[in-house]
């Protein structure tokens, strides 16, 4: 993995085969609502915000004194509190076991979702919800978006404790969830299925298939008529957001995952790639990882920290950029860009601190933490939500694509400077096969009696001339040094599967030129050469080549070396 992953800081300048990467406009990863302050059932202390925001910003991790790190619902509570969907009480408590009223659940729905209205509440509203009631707006929204309904007599019963089954039905209805495939038999999943009201059986079955139901302490006991607790509310709301693709599933190695009823496709395997693939926010990133051949690497144990651009971040690039990045000849550039988004090791939200952090692309990103606003940025990109835990690391969604600093402004993926004809001769440029370089190699003689035909040390180089042509001067040192000057045709990079375990990129080349034996007679001979370049990192290239010099006799040598890119 080491050679295929490295990251570094970015400037909003460039990317691509005649493309420059545009500055990416800010975006929100989730269409969540603004902060909710939970209100005690009888005596509200604060009024929820009237109009939910569609772009809540993540805040510092809360620290409720009554929700310890080993509490069963800790991941759900922390995640929603960080997203300002739920909050604690003035005494810094959360009261996880306190029952939730119908009004409070309506307020939570208002903060968590932004569904369109499907009906309209009459002008008078519910008779038991006065216009100045703290949750009037939330109740109206929950009704009009189809989450909740009233009772006969035009009452809402806002202070009545909401049973768990009623909360599940509300989420199924408001999110318009439907069953897929064979309907779920609730008797298979719940030992107390007989206690589910008839009106709710199909809703519970659909919610179960959608992995929304969370049961603690017994995953097979629904307790449908028991009042919903604040901890349970956090759990099912989080799972509903997972279903919508607004947040990522919690890591399977957390205890809380054991209480999620897996009625549909089981929770995704929780490596970084699987989590990204399961979200509607990272379809472009997932596709590019596959194109670059990096998915297998990011599914290895790691751990890794990934700053993941959202689909909106990629969409803000020039329209032709993504198309060209996915072309085979630009695969090396794509790998560089993606490696620049990955840091070795797992950095949780509490471990992120300001400063330079080296990436797998051998360059550093600049992390900035604004303690006043609780905002985190990476170079010029903004972290959109707290880290999403994976089995092999953590993902931070960001609103811009990071561009490695070693991609010079105005340079395209194939090394062509903007405004330059790809066939113009520019010594020292990159070709489609990779960067120019100079380095050292070991030569293994295969035949002949010159320095090329013996085991010796060599100096190698590649000097790009055009997009496809290079000159590769080298010298093999021996009793009588032989100088090789071939001109080569450089092919585009191609993928190679190493014994079915890992895919990497190589750039083949073939060429011909002249061999000069520096003996007293200074013999000249015809030279044939062929080899491959393998980009080890943004700074180094591994080279393997076979050279055949036709002089008094045929001298053949095999060289293996490493070059420093320039």
Tens-digit pLDDT profile for residues 44-76:
333 333 333 333 444 455 689 999 988 999 999
d(CA 324, CA 15): 10
Task: Kindly state the tokens that stand for 406.
Answer: 């070693």
User: What pLDDT is stored for residue 275 in this prediction?
Assistant: 80
Maximum mean pLDDT: which of 249-263, 359-373, 542-556: 542-556
User: What pLDDT is stored for residue 32 in this prediction?
Assistant: 20
User: What pLDDT is stored for residue 471 in this prediction?
Assistant: 95
User: What pLDDT is stored for residue 334 in this prediction?
Assistant: 86
Largest CA distance in the chain: 112
User: What pLDDT is stored for residue 318 in this prediction?
Assistant: 77
**pLDDT of residue 418 exceeding 50:** no
Residue identified by tokens 């008529």 is 225
For 457-478, what is the mean pLDDT? 92
**pLDDT of residue 81 exceeding 60:** yes
pTM for the full model?
0.44
d(CA 27, CA 277): 20
Please report, to the nearest 10 degrees, the dihedral formed by the alpha carbons of residues 444, 447, 449, 452 taken in order. Answer: -40
**pLDDT of residue 43 exceeding 50:** no
d(CA 48, CA 35): 8
For 534-547, what is the mean pLDDT? 85
Give the β-pairing of 364-370 and 375-378.
Answer: antiparallel
Task: Kindly state the tokens that stand for 543.
Answer: 């080279």
**pLDDT of residue 267 exceeding 60:** no
**pLDDT of residue 399 exceeding 60:** yes
Between 161 and 517, name the one with better pLDDT. 161
- The overall average pLDDT reported for the chain is 80
In 185-330, which ranges are continuous DSSP H helix?
186-189, 201-209, 230-244, 272-278, 283-292, 295-298, 311-315, 319-325
User: What pLDDT is stored for residue 485 in this prediction?
Assistant: 95
Least confident of 168-177, 428-437, 441-450: 428-437
Least confident of 23-37, 81-95, 129-143: 23-37
In 35-163, which ranges are continuous DSSP H helix?
74-82, 102-112, 136-144
Q: Count H helices and E strands in the chain, helices first.
A: 13, 18
Per-residue b/e over 417-429, b at no fewer than 16 CB within 10 Å? beebebeeebeeb
Please report the sign of the dihedral spanned by the C-alpha atoms of residue 532, residue 533, residue 536, residue 542: positive
């Amino acid at each position: 993995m080491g050679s295929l992953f490295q990251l570094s800081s970015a400037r909003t300048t460039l990317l691509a085969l005649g493309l420059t990467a545009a500055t990416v406009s800010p975006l929100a990863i989730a269409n969540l609502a603004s902060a909710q302050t939970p209100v005690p059932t009888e005596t509200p202390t604060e009024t929820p915000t009237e109009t939910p925001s569609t772009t809540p910003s993540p805040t510092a991790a809360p620290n409720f004194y009554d929700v310890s790190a080993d509490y069963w619902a800790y991941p759900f509570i922390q995640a929603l509190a960080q997203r300002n969907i739920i909050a604690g009480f003035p005494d810094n408590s959360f009261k996880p076991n306190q029952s939730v009223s119908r009004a409070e659940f309506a307020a939570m729905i208002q903060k968590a979702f932004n569904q369109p209205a499907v009906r309209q509440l009459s002008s008078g509203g519910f008779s038991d919800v006065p216009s100045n009631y703290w949750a009037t707006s939330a109740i109206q929204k929950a009704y009009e978006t189809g989450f909740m309904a009233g009772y006969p007599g035009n009452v809402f019963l806002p202070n009545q404790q909401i049973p768990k089954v009623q909360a599940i039905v509300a989420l199924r209805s408001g999110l318009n969830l439907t069953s897929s495939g064979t309907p779920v038999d609730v008797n298979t999943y719940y030992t107390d299925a007989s206690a589910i009201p008839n009106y709710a059986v199909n809703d519970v079955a659909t919610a179960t298939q959608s992995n929304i139901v969370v049961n603690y302490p017994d995953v097979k006991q629904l307790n449908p008529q028991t009042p919903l607790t604040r901890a349970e509310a956090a759990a099912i709301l989080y799972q509903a957001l997972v279903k919508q693709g607004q947040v990522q599933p919690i890591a399977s190695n957390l205890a809380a995952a054991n209480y999620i009823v897996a009625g549909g496709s089981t929770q995704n395997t929780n490596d970084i790639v699987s989590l990204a693939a399961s979200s509607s926010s990272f379809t472009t990133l997932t596709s590019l990882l596959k194109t670059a051949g990096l998915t297998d690497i990011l599914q290895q144990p790691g751990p890794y920290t990934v700053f993941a651009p959202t689909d909106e971040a990629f969409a803000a690039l020039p329209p032709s950029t993504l198309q060209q990045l996915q072309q085979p000849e630009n695969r090396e550039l794509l790998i560089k860009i993606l490696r620049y988004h990955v840091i070795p090791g797992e950095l949780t939200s509490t471990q992120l601190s300001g400063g330079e952090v080296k990436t797998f692309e051998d360059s550093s990103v600049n992390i900035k933490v604004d303690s006043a606003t609780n905002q985190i940025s990476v170079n010029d990109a903004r972290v959109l939500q707290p880290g999403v835990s994976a089995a092999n690391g953590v993902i931070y969604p960001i609103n811009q694509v990071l561009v490695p600093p070693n991609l010079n402004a105005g340079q395209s993926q194939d090394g062509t400077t903007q405004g330059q004809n790809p066939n113009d001769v520019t010594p020292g440029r990159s070709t489609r096969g990779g960067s120019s370089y100079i380095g050292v190699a070991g030569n293994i003689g295969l035949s002949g009696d010159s320095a090329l035909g013996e085991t010796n040390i060599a100096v190698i180089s590649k000097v790009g001339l055009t997009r496809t042509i290079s000159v590769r001067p080298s010298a093999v040192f021996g009793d009588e040094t032989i100088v090789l000057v071939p001109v080569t045709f450089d092919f585009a990079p191609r993928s190679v599967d190493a014994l079915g375990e890992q895919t990497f990129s190589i750039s083949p080349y073939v060429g011909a030129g002249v061999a000069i034996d520096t003996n007293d007679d200074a013999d000249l001979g015809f030279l044939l050469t062929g080899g491959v370049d393998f980009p080890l990192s943004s700074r180094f290239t591994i080279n393997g080549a076979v050279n055949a010099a036709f002089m008094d006799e045929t001298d053949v040598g095999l060289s293996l070396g490493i070059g420093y890119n320039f």
